[in-house]
Amino acid sequence: MSVDNSPSPLINSHLSVDIVTTTEGFEAIHGQWDVLFQSANEAKVFQSFTWNYAWWKAFGLGCDLAIIIVREKDRIMGLAPFMVRHRLGVPQVEPIGSDQYAYFGVLIEGDRQDVIQAIGDCLNHTYPSGLIHFPYYNVADSSVNILGATLAAAGWREARWQRNIARCVLADSNYETYMMTKSQKVRYNLRREQRKLEEQHQMDVAHFFGSDIDDRVILRMANIQKRSWLSRRGADTVDAGALNVMIRALGREGMAEVFILTLSELDVAFILNFCSARCAHCISIAFDETFLSLSPGKVLMSICIKTLLDRGINAYDFLFGDGEYKRFWANRTILVFRSVCYRGLRSWVLSWIPHRLSGKLARYDLLRDFLGKARSVRKKFLAKKDRMISPGSQK
């Protein structure tokens, strides 16, 4: 494990702070990270060792590792998984995973504001100037607010703006009680649509969890995607790119699940979730557009939500965007913000280009679509470039 041995003067005496900067050091804290993840309040799958390590191994080339760990009497009380890119000589610190689905939040045990402040003090001490970028975070997450306040007290400037919204199902009861919040007409139509499917076809729903998600299941999902609206958008299928890496890694740890709806032995719709103890995230959903009139996606989603609530998962997050199906099922809305903290002239420039500028331009639909396509082309180019580089060059 690589450690920054220079003391930070603002860190409380009962806490010690290390910075892990090597992949070997990353691997060494696996067990302690898992213990903290299990004990943390409402930890998200994006805060798990498995998600962060899988992303780092697959896509961390060209970045420096900077996992900040706070200990109290040799026990890890909190950590923030950062990585560092250097642009124009300026260190840009951001969460591992960057903007690929990851809500950022400091992983802490209990309500330890002093731990979060220690992480902020460490950032300030380690980077006298630079840029700290939080691509996606829940505006209600106090850890980001405390980090920002700690950095502001040390002379950093901050800019934040609403990036998106996320809709979710939040229910402390069973499926039947949750559905009673819907209108009688909605409940009737949903039952009618399921009966219609069952009358016209032999309907089956397969549920794959954890290690059951193998190459065959991933290929079945990809084939459905190719017959869905996602193919028209040019989106990557689940058997390629970053998502494939995450599915396999999280599946091995029991943190991924797949629902596949079959009509007359033909795969028609699927839902892919990433799960932690009390929260699930809808990562991908698609259905064969040939069966659009039969609403296979809606029927499968009702089965998925029922399964999750019956299992004791009380939060189902549809992630970013305001799709029609998300508005139909969700009963809560999360404001998703983006922020940059900066200190120094060059850091101020980089806070605008591309971060704050892209945030302003994305308010316009045509520009947002153009930026989305540009990012897609860039990701494909970088993925192709990474495949050409030997894995042995990974830090």
* Single-letter amino acid, residue 278: R
For 382-393, what is the mean pLDDT? 57
Annotated domain spans of the chain: 16-163+335-393, 172-313
Ramachandran region of residue 273, left (φ > 0), alpha (ψ -120 to 50) or beta?
Answer: beta
In contact, 23 and 52? CB cutoff 8 Å = no
Task: Identify the CA nearest to 224 among candidates 173, 273, 251, 258.
Answer: 258
Note whether 16-163+335-393 and 172-313 share their fold: yes
In contact, 284 and 183? CB cutoff 8 Å = no
For 27-48, what is the mean pLDDT? 92
Query: Both tokens of residue 186?
Result: 């909605």
For 333-341, what is the mean pLDDT? 93
Fold of the domain built from segment(s) 16-163+335-393: Aminopeptidase (3.40.630)
In contact, 138 and 148? CB cutoff 8 Å = no
Residue 278, pLDDT score:
85
Q: Let me know if domain 172-313 sits in CATH 3.50.30.30.
A: no
Residue 54, pLDDT score:
92
In contact, 137 and 105? CB cutoff 8 Å = yes
Residue 268, pLDDT score:
97
Residue 369, pLDDT score:
66
pLDDT at 205 over 70: yes
Residue 279, pLDDT score:
92
Residue range 294-324, pLDDT digits in tens = 999 999 999 999 999 999 999 999 998 888 9
Pairing state between β 315-320 and 279-287: parallel
Confidence band, pLDDT 50/70/90 cuts, at residue 10? very low
For 50-54, what is the mean pLDDT? 94
Q: Is 150 exposed, middle or buried (0-12, 13-18, 19+ CB in 10 A)?
A: buried
Q: How far apart are CA 208 and CA 343, in angstroms?
A: 48
Residue range 88-119, pLDDT digits in tens = 899 999 999 876 767 888 999 888 999 999 99
Residue 183, pLDDT score:
94
The separation between the first and the last C-alpha atoms of the chain, rounded to the nearest angstrom, is 13
Q: How far apart are CA 81 and CA 70, in angstroms?
A: 12
- Looking at the chain, the whole-number percentage of residues with pLDDT higher than 90 is 69
In contact, 308 and 151? CB cutoff 8 Å = no
Residue 366, pLDDT score:
66
Residue 359, pLDDT score:
79
Residue 229, pLDDT score:
86
pLDDT at 9 over 50: no
Residue range 247-290, pLDDT digits in tens = 999 999 999 999 999 999 999 999 999 999 889 999 999 999 99
Mean pLDDT for the chain overall: 88
